[in-house]
Structures are given as structure tokens and as C-alpha cells.
Amino acid sequence: MSEEKTMVEGFESPVNLKYTFAAGDATAKFLREIQKGRIVGKRSSVTGYVSVPPRGACPISGTVMVEEVVLPETGTVMSFTIVHIPIPNAPVKPPFIVANIVLDGADQTFIHLVSECDNDKLQIGERVKAVWKDKSEWGLSLENIKYFVPTGEGAIDIAALKAKRLEETEKYRHA
Amino acid sequence: MRDIAIISYAQTPQVRDAGAQNDIEMVMDVAHQAMGDVGFTIDDIDFICSGSCDYLGGAAFAFVNAVDGLGLVPPKKESHVEMDAAFALYEAWLKMQAGECDTALIYGFGKSSHSEMRFIPTLQLDPYYYTPLWPDSISLAALQARAVLDSGKYTEADFAQVVANSRKNAKNNPNAQLEGDVSVADVLAEEMLVAPLRRSDCCPISDGASAVVMVTREVAEKLIAEGKITGAAYISGIDHRIDAHGLGVRDLTTSESTRIAAEKAGVHKGKVDIAELYAPFSHQELIVRDALGLTKDTQINLSGGTLAGHVFMAHGLDRLGEVAKRIIAGEASRGVAHASSGPCLQQNLVAVLEA
Amino acid sequence: MAKLAAVTGVGMTSRFRARVKESIAGLVREAALNALQDAGCTWADIDAVIIGKAPDMFEGHLMPELYLADALGAVGKPMLRVHTAGSVGGSTAIVAASHVQSGQFNRVLTVAYEKQSESNAMWALSSKQPFSPHFNAGAGGFFAPIIREYMRRSGAPLDVGCHVAVKDRKHALLNPHAHLQEEPNLEAYMQSPMLWDPIRFSEVCPSSDGAVAMVISNEELAKKSPNKPAWIAATSMRSEPTMYAWREEVNPEAGRLCAQDVYKQAGITNPLKEIDCAEIYVPFSWYEPMWLENLGFAEEGQGWKLTMDGTTSNIDGGACPWNMSGGVLSSNPIGASGMIRFAEAALQVRGMADKRQVEGAKTALGHAYGGGAQFFSMWIVKAEKP
């Protein structure tokens, strides 16, 4: 029998907890629509801004967002990064582009992938459109959109886009 | 010391499962109601503080989403404790004493229905020696209940009386989850859940959110003069203390931290008309009642108390709200609110509220 | 109305790298004991304990104030635990200060920590969120797009980030507590693997273990303390939602307003001139030029120039050194990092920052931010009583 004793310096203590999650009304509605291939956001009655995916509350005013707005599948890249290290448990392989996209008619970005382009050529302000998965693969997820691709129009001035949206939504703020 | 008062309290109904309604939606309801009841909007609030627990939501930073329901644009002074909202109220109270704010909104929330409430508190224990053994929250409370029985201070029938009182009082509380006409015999007839605790000796699992608006005397008096509120419940004393973590190190049949906090908060400086105690298990109400030194003259848990509904992370704030609302309504002139945290009443907060 | 409060003791764990021989209790106690010793007091002299750390899910533990009450001498005392995401170290210090400023307590102990060797921060930060596509590539993935937009707006040269990293790592060599202790090389840093374009590996904070503690006292006790106190001249906190329509993410409003508030309280109108040095939460190198602008040290679009001309370097005799300790880029025990900034600022005005001391520092700024750059906490400490 060995005379050497090893001190226990550490041990693994697994934690196992089961959770259910509630989407909340706004997210549930959005997911049911996207399952049908429709992108539906919500407009805040106080600020006039449109968010997609809607989060139930308008974060600026803390009020419930009610009005639904159907949105097109085209938009603008407000910012992006090229990811070189894999996301744990995600299927997409690096290097890939993750972008903050604002759809036409919306005022809030969401994260999605941009593909079918030269990573080094993508610009802030790039005009993009959605490429959907095959209908048979659609579920309750924004991942029904496989990724976005540049439309070919090139990049627009995002400061001008913001100014234009502020102007377009002005009427709601003085209703 | 500045005079600080609670002027409004809003609570969602305590339910076993709030269904699809999420945290933001519940917080919006109570925050807007508590503010609206006194004619406030978020612009009238100098400081916001909340209490919640990421483990209920199952995601780190779960508390961040609730901020969406407040309208924090432009940005405001806001803070958060990973503790019951009663402690968030304490943080706000300190800031008001330091003169940094005159009005505060405090809220707490949680959807315990989403996860395993029996086991989540196990993660509060010493991660090297206790947690790996996975003693669940009911078993730990049962250990304490057994110690109480063995001490000869109380019997199982005494525990059952606490249950009966809770169910009866809860009949007057539209937000209570469990209420009814239950007798001591009914409770004693139940099978043991984890001996010596029966199912009724244990608080239910509840979803909900609560909010409170707290202001200085100057603000309260101005609102009364403007006819926006009819009264205020002043915090004449508030204190909290923590006991040793090790269950074998302290006497589980008493609550030293509650006793000290009660003394520092000045519980005995006057008559205590009502008291709302945070006691997730029936025997704990007896321990806390004794530690607070309450007599038969005090009406305990008119809301039904913890056995009638337990929104983890908001329940302590609810004790303060329940006492405050009765004082504001003129049903009591002085009351004690108690909040607790940790295994077997390890940490306790005591507040004294007066008209 | 507020009573004066001062930092009379600062303690940190020895070096912010993996501490496998100590438990979490051991880690925090080490920092606390160092702070008590510096303050010339014992556990019995402490009226309340206020702790802070990042999300509990990092270590798979819950509400650690309960477990740590014994280790931190809190039994029978009030104990609070603050949680405001990454800014928590700073907010915890502010809540601790308000204990004394309220007049309710004379002397308190505040501790912030993280034991990342016992946690899985990467998992906790990028676990799949229900109902959202799994694209969140951790903190780096979140901040990289914002940095890219800053680069576009400012037209800054592409090596600004690496210059910040080199400066902070050089500073770290003068700080025995710093996790990373290697001579930095600009060329090597520029060639370092790209992680989330434009952030390279060399420009990212490490994953550290550490605890920091401070003793905060009232005026009477501060005057009697053995070592020079750092007077807390101003504290402020601001929060805004993570996302909202057209939110300005490069120059967050909550940060700007928080800074304006803290400067107003401290009577500062020109931060670049009136603040001698600063410890600023910079976990990704480009956040130095961005925060130089957000905090009013430079005009919008000009922050990078202060980095490039050496203004923020302690080694090249810069006019306003930033992160003399090596900053978050050299040590990041997440929950502690905000308080380390606040504590380092205090050490500077106490003249106790050893080799990293900025000569004659009388006014220092401590800063922390968290979440999606939405929670901010800041304080100004001074050598002279306000």
C-alpha cells in the first residue's frame, strides 16, 4: 500500500435543475407568426417606435406595446462582427458574421447571421434581405430565417436612416 | 434621521402558476399601479431598487429584463440586490437617509413555478460541505421543526394552529393563494410530507410581483395636502441581522438575528397592533413571534402570511406592504413587518411602521 | 445631509490568478483581513458587511452572503449583497458608502469577489436563451459590433486598441496583484488571433480569481485611522434598458449622465484637467478611447488621440494616467473588477499605490459598467477632505 496520500483540493459538484420558460404574450405571438413566415413587430403607442422581435414592454416608456406591424424581410446592417471562435452548442462554424440588423420600418435591431458574402467586404449600412430555410424546417423561431444576405444595393448612411425614422415616427409622439 | 414612509403598495395575485405572463409583464402591472395610486409617473421617482433571483428565471442577468417595464429612458439611478426586495427597500431607505433621493420605487418579483423551488435554496448552502449532499429546503426546515418539538416549547398541534389561522385570515385577502376553513384536526390528519412537517405546514409555491413607493415626510405631507393620498406609514425603525450559516452552530429553535433586529428597530417602544411575519413553515412563525417578543395583543398575519402565498423575492416586501396598507387605511396605528432569508431563518429584517 | 465617508483600508488577494488552494470563503477573508489591517481595526470594529459579485450562476452558487457571513465576521450584524451585473463591484462600494453617509453606521466592510476557476463564466454568459436564436457569442460578440461602429465614426487608426493593451499590460508589471504579468509587444499584439473582429485575443481581459475589500469609515474614525484616508467626494449610478429604439450604444447616455452627476457633486468641470488619474472599466481595449469620450475627457471622436499621445500612460508620464493597476485588461475577476477600480482610485489619493503611484495624485475617478453597457457606477475620491 502506498504511503503517499493526496490531499483533496477540489471536486466536481454537479448542479441539475429543470426549468420551464414562459415566452410572454408578445414573444409568443411573434413566434407563432414567424412559424408562418411572417415577421410581425409591435409599435409603441407612446414613442411610435417599432420593435421586432417585440418584448412586450416599450423600454422607453414602460408601457405595453399593442399595435402589430407586419414588416418586410429587407433591412440594414447597423453593426456587425466576424466571429472566429465557436459559440458553445451552436451549429454555425466560424468565421461567421453576426450582425445587428434593423428591418425596414422598424426602429430596434436584432441579432442574426449574414452570409453569402465576402466577410471582409461587408460594411456598416449594408442593405440586406432574409434567406429562409425550407418551409418544412420552419418552427417557432427566428432561425426560420437561415441568414441575411446583401441585396447588392451596397451600404447606406445609417445616421440618415436614423434621422429619417425619427421623422417618420414623430407623428405618434404628438398624437 | 429623516422620516420615511411607505405610501403605496401593489401586488399581483399570488398564484401557483402565472402561465404565459412573464416577469416584465408582472412588474409593469405593479410598478405602474403603485406609482399611479399616488399620482406619480417614473419621472417622479428619484431611485429605483429591486430584488430578484436569477435562479428563478434560469438565466444569469434575468433581473435585467424587468427594467424594460419601467421606462428608464432617460436613464435613472437604479440598483438591485440578489435578495428579497425588503432588502432592496433597505438600500433605498439608506440612500434617502443620506439625502440622495426623496422618492423611491421598490419592487420584487419571481416565477417560482418555472423551476424546482424545493431544491433551489440548496444552492444557498456552503458549496463545499453542504450543497453536494443536496439537502432540500423542506428537509432543512423539518430538521428545525424537529428541534422545536424536542425542546418541548411547541407541539404539532401548535404548528397546525398556525396553519388554521393562516387559512382563515387569508379568506379576507383577494390576493391569497390558499385560504379556507381548516381546523387543527384537519391538519393533523394529513400524512407527513417530511416529518414532522405536513404539506399544510409548508408555504405554497407562488408566482407574482409587488411594488412599493417610499417617500420622505415632506413629500408625503405635500401629497396629502394635494389630496393625492390619504395617509402614510412611517418607518420608525428598521434593522436587519444575519446568524451563523452552519446549522449545527446555532440554536435552531430561536432566532437571535430577529431578536437583535427587533431591539434595534425599537419594536417594544410601543404597542404592536399588527405584525406580518415571513415564515415559510408553520413552526417558524412561532420562532419569529417569540423572537420579536409579540404578545397575544398583536394580530399576526392578517394577510394570511407566508402559508397563504409565497412569492420568493417579493414576499419580504409584501410584509412591509401589508402592514403599511393597513396603517394607511386606519386599521392599525403601529405594526411590525419581518422578512427572512436563508436556511432555517438565517437572516432577518425587522421594520416598525407607524401612522 | 449626507455624512462624510472615507476609505480607511484597502485589501486585495495576493495575485488575481487561479487560487486552487483556497475556498471562496478563504479568498474573501484574505482580502478582508488585509483591509482590516490597513485600516488598523479588527472584525469587532465593523458595524455592517456589504458584499457584491457577478451573477451567482457563474459559480453555481446562490446568495453567497448566507454562506460567507461566518468568514466575514458578519454574524450578528447587518449584511447585504448587491447585484448589478458587471458594475457590481462599483455599486457595492457605493451602497457601502451610503451606509456611512446615511449616518446609520460608523464603519463598514465591503467586499467584492469572483472565483472564476470554480465557475463557468463562459457558459453562464452565453447559454442559449429560450425563444431566441443562439447567436449570442458572449461578451466579446456583444461589444465587437459597437467597437466597429466607434472605429468607423472616429476614423481612428486600427492599432489604437493594441496601444491600449500594451499600456495596460506595462502598467500591470508594476502591480503585484495583476493577473497578467508579461512584457507586452505591440507587433505581437497586432498579430494576435482575431476573436470577434475587430477584437483580438491580445485585447481581451483574462479570466481571474480575486477578492478586494475596503473599510469605509465616518469622518471621526477616518481622522483617527493609521493610514491616510481617501475621502469619498461623490458617488453616482445610472441605468438604462439593454435595448431600445435607436439607443446610442457607442456613447451610452447612462454613462454620460452618471459622469455628469459625479463631476457636479465633486465640483469638477474639466475632468481631463482636474482628475489626476482614473481607474476605468476597460475589458476590451477599444473601450478606453470610447470611455475617454463618454466620460468627457475628450470630445466625441477624439478619445483615441489621448491614448495615442500617451496622456493615459503612467509610464510615459502622461498627464492623466488611466488604469495604472493594469486595469481589467490585466485582471478580471468579474464581480470584483468594479470594486478594484474604486479601491485603486482610493489607493492613489492615499499615496499608497506603491510602484503604480501617480505622483501627487489628489483626485481620482473610479468607474465600473455592466450588462450591455447599461449599468454605470462611479465615484470620485480625494486626498483632501471635501
Domain of residue A101: give its range: 25-173
Q: Tell me, what's the pLDDT at C317?
A: 86
* Residue C332 C-alpha, separation from nearest chain A C-alpha, in angstroms: 20
The answer to whether A148 contacts chain C (CB < 8 Å) is no
Residues B93 and B111: their CA atoms lie apart, in Å, by 26
pLDDT score of A121: 94
- State whether residue A139 is helix, strand or coil: coil
How far apart CA A156 and CA A128 sit, in angstroms, is 11
Q: What is the DSSP letter of B120?
A: G
Tens digits of residue pLDDT in B26-57:
999 999 999 999 999 999 999 999 999 989 88
Which has the closest alpha carbon to C268: C377, C386, C347, C98?
A: C386
Q: What is the predicted pLDDT for the residue at A33?
A: 97
CB-nearest to C122 from A80, A88, A99 is: A88
Q: Is A11 a domain residue?
A: no
The A39-43 sheet, strands edge to edge: A50-51, A39-43, A67-71
Residue in the block written with cell 488611466: C322
| Sequence-ordered list of residues with C-beta below 8 angstroms from that of C334, at least 6 positions apart, any chain | C53, C54, C58, C86, C114, C116, C121
How many structural domains comprise chain A?
1
Show residues of chain A in contact with B31, CB under 8 Å: 62
Q: What was the pLDDT predicted at A1? A: 52
Q: Determine, for residues B61 and C65 on separate chains, whether the beta-carbon distance falls below 8 Å.
A: no
- Helix B315-328 / helix B85-97 crossing angle, nearest 10 deg: 60
In a domain, A70, yes or no: yes
CB contact under 8 A, B71 and A17: no
C82 and B79 in contact by Cβ < 8 A?
Answer: yes
Helix and strand element counts for chain C (H, E): 14, 11
- Residue A3 located in a structural domain: no
Closest CA in chain B for residue A19: B115
pLDDT value at residue C85? 85
* Predicted local distance difference test score (pLDDT) of residue C86: 81
Nearest residue on chain C to B68, alpha-carbon basis: C241
Q: C-alpha cell of C306?
A: 489621448
List chain A pLDDT tens, one digit each, 175 residues.
556 678 888 888 898 999 988 888 889 999 999 999 999 999 999 999 999 999 879 999 999 999 999 999 999 999 999 999 887 777 788 999 999 999 999 999 999 999 999 999 999 999 999 999 999 999 999 999 999 999 999 999 999 999 999 999 999 887 6
Q: How far B28 CA lies from chain A's nearest CA (Å)? A: 7
Which contiguous run of DSSP H or E holds residue C50? strand C48-53
Distances (CA, A) of C1 to B3, B96, C108, C152: 13, 10, 19, 46
Best C119, C246, C249 member to test A by mutation, with max A CBs in 10 Å, is: C246
Mean pLDDT within B160-177:
98
pLDDT of residue A2: 54
B150-178 average pLDDT score: 98
Residues 229-258 (C) with a CB less than 8 A from some CB of B: 236-242, 244, 253-254, 257-258
At position B182, the amino acid (one-letter code) is V
CA distance C248 to chain B (A): 12
CA C185, chain centre distance (Å): 25
| pLDDT at res. A175 | 61
In terms of pLDDT, which residue wins out, B334 or B68? B334
Task: Identify the weakest region by mean pLDDT among A94-98, B6-10, B143-147.
Answer: A94-98
Range 59-88 of A in CB contact (< 8 A) with C? 59-60, 78-85, 87-88
User: Looking at beta carbons, which residues of chain A come within 8 Å of C122?
Assistant: 88
Find, among B20, B23, B206, B16, the residue nearest to B109 by Cα.
Answer: B23
Q: Check: CB of residue A86 under 8 Å from CB of residue A72.
A: no
Coil vs helix vs strand at B266? coil
Residue B299: strand pairing partners: B274
> Using CA atoms, how far apart are residues C265 and C97, in angstroms rounded to an integer?
15
> Which of B61, B115, B255, B264 has the most C C-beta neighbours within 10 Å, making it the best mutation to test the interface with C?
B61
A5 lies in some domain: no
| Residue of chain A nearest B24, judged by CA positions | A57
The distance of B131 to chain C (nearest Cα, Å) reads 9
Would A13 be classed as within a structural domain? no
Give residues with Cβ within 8 angstroms of A120, minimum separation 6. none
Element (H, E) at B57: helix B54-57
Chain B: list its partners (3+ Cβ pairs within 8 Å): A, C
Closest CA to B146 of B189, B205, B183, B201: B201
Q: How do the pLDDT tens digits run along chain C, 386 residues long?
A: 799 999 999 999 999 999 989 999 999 999 999 999 999 999 999 999 999 999 998 888 999 999 999 999 999 999 999 998 888 899 999 999 999 999 999 999 999 999 999 888 777 776 777 788 888 778 899 999 999 999 999 999 999 999 999 999 999 999 999 999 999 999 999 999 999 999 999 999 999 999 999 999 999 999 999 999 999 999 999 999 999 999 999 999 999 999 999 999 999 999 999 999 999 999 999 999 999 999 999 999 999 999 999 999 999 889 999 999 999 999 999 999 999 999 999 999 999 999 999 999 999 999 999 988 899 999 999 999 99
Burial (0-12, 13-18, 19+ Cβ within 10 Å), A108: buried
Instruction: Tell if the CB–CB gap between B73 and C125 is shorter than 8 Å.
Output: no
pLDDT given at position A3: 60
As a CATH number, domain B4-116+205-225 is 3.40.47.10
Say how far apart CA B159 and CA B163 lie, in whole Å. 7
Region B176-191: what's the mean pLDDT? 98
User: Nearest-CA distance from B268 to chain A in Å?
Assistant: 42
CB proximity list for C317: less than 8 A, separation 6 or greater = C310
| CA–CA distance, B267 with B270 (Å, rounded to integer) | 7
Residue of A nearest to B69 (CA): A62
- The helix (run of H) or strand (run of E) holding residue C169 is helix C160-172
B222-281 pLDDT, tens digit each: 999 999 999 999 999 999 999 999 999 999 999 999 999 999 999 999 999 999 999 999
List CB contacts (< 8 A) between B131 and chain A: 13
Residue B246: which residues within 8 A CB-CB, separation 6 or more? Answer: B126, C70
- Cβ atoms of residues A125 and A157 within 8 Å: yes
Phi, psi angles (nearest 5°) of residue C219: -60, -45
Chains contacting chain A through 3 or more C-beta pairs under 8 A? B, C
Greatest Cα-to-Cα distance within chain A, rounded to the nearest angstrom = 86
The predicted-structure confidence for C278-303, as pLDDT tens digits, reads as follows 999 999 999 999 999 999 999 999 99
Q: Alpha-carbon dihedral of residues B341, B343, B346, B347, nearest 10 degrees?
A: -10
pLDDT of residue B65: 82
> Which chains share 3+ C-beta pairs under 8 angstroms with C?
A, B
Enter the C-alpha cell of residue C123.
Answer: 457558459
Give me the phi and psi of C195, to 5 degrees please.
-100, -65
Please give, rounded to a whole number of angstroms, the shortest distance from the CA of A109 to a CA of chain C: 8
**Chain A contacts in chain B segment 102-161 (CB below 8 A):** 111, 113-116, 119-120, 123, 127, 131-132
Q: What's the pLDDT score for residue C119?
A: 84
Q: Is the pLDDT of residue B60 over 80?
A: no
